[in-house]
Amino acid sequence: MKKKNNPITIQVNAMIFFPCRPAGPLFCSYKENSWNPKDDFWKPIWKYHSPQRVHLFLWIVAKQRLFTNFEKARRGIGQSSECPQCDHANEDTMHVLRDCAKAKEVWKLIVPIEKQARNRSRLLKIHHQCSEDWVSLFTDGAVTRSSGNASAGGVVRDRDGHWILGFTHYLGRCSHFEAELWGILDGILILLNKGYKRVRIQTDNMEVVRALNMEENVDSGITLLRRVKRVLPSEGQWEIMYIPREYNLVADKLAKIGLFWQTSLQIFEVPPDAVATSIQQAQAFSIS
């Protein structure tokens, strides 16, 4: 009688064989409602030399359907979308495989240092490939676990990474998904008011990126989501992309301090002292 494979072993092996090149832009640019097994998108997965179970795992990852806490909460069968390892608000597919602190420890053990540096440099090129008249909007949301109160924050930078403005907005009780959307909507409206028409929106929430990139969405009943999707095509040129959490430290800090300040929308023409440390950390990643 053939011995059954241990599911845990399968999962670990699949993660080890997972390609190490940056996958964020690939996943967020492919729309769920246009999946076609004959598309070129799937060729790297099926051509990858590995056991069939690994192909299946990569296929599930590409469709963003790992059974994470975020996916459980989205389906209404989980109470929390948080990561149990690092308490990040959303344990989605990219967080489990790459952005969680525990996942990073694993990658450091199995990926050579020179390849890690090469992957990081590729991400930096993505961030800085903006034309002279484009700006980058980094946004984030934060939710207090005990009360459910939320806040949004963001920072706008020019093509060289210099501070243009920042903002924070206390929201009261709402979901983390809605807080992320508020950060994007606030940033869009502020920039339009100041005359900026070409903006690259960058967030570390993959689900938000997917929702805004899809023409139709199962969550389209969320009024805020519909509002953002109406504003984006109405004026100016907009791009939205996923970035790892460590490239969004300043926006994350602005969102969190909004929970303590509890003020309505507040705009900062110069960086507030409260984000000085986060700016220094961002400089270590060559973002500032």
- Answer whether residue 232 is part of any domain: yes
200-254 pLDDT, tens digit each: 999 988 888 888 887 655 445 578 988 999 888 888 889 898 888 878 889 999 9
Q: How many domains does the chain have?
A: 2
One domain for residues 16 and 118 = yes
Structural contact between residues 259 and 142, judged by C-beta atoms closer than 8 angstroms? yes
One domain for residues 139 and 260 = yes
Cα–Cα distance measured from residue 66 to residue 57, given in angstroms and rounded to the nearest whole number: 9
The structure tokens listed for 7 are 């599911």
One domain for residues 59 and 200 = no
One domain for residues 171 and 50 = no
One domain for residues 49 and 81 = yes
Which of 125, 149, 165 is the last residue before a domain boundary?
125
Residue 165 pairs with which residues in a beta bridge? 156
- Answer whether residue 1 is part of any domain: no
Residue 136 pairs with which residues in a beta bridge? 157, 200
- Residues in contact with 157: Cβ distance below 8 Å, sequence separation at least 6, in sequence order: 135, 136, 138, 163, 164, 287, 288
Residue 4's Cα: distance from chain center in Å?
A: 36
One domain for residues 145 and 116 = no
Measure the CA angle with vertex 283, ends 281 and 286; round to 5°: 130
- Answer whether residue 2 is part of any domain: no
Cα–Cα distance measured from residue 281 to residue 275, given in angstroms and rounded to the nearest whole number: 10
| Residue 35, domain extent | 7-125
pTM over 0.85: no
66-110 pLDDT, tens digit each: 888 877 877 778 777 788 888 776 788 878 887 788 888 887 788
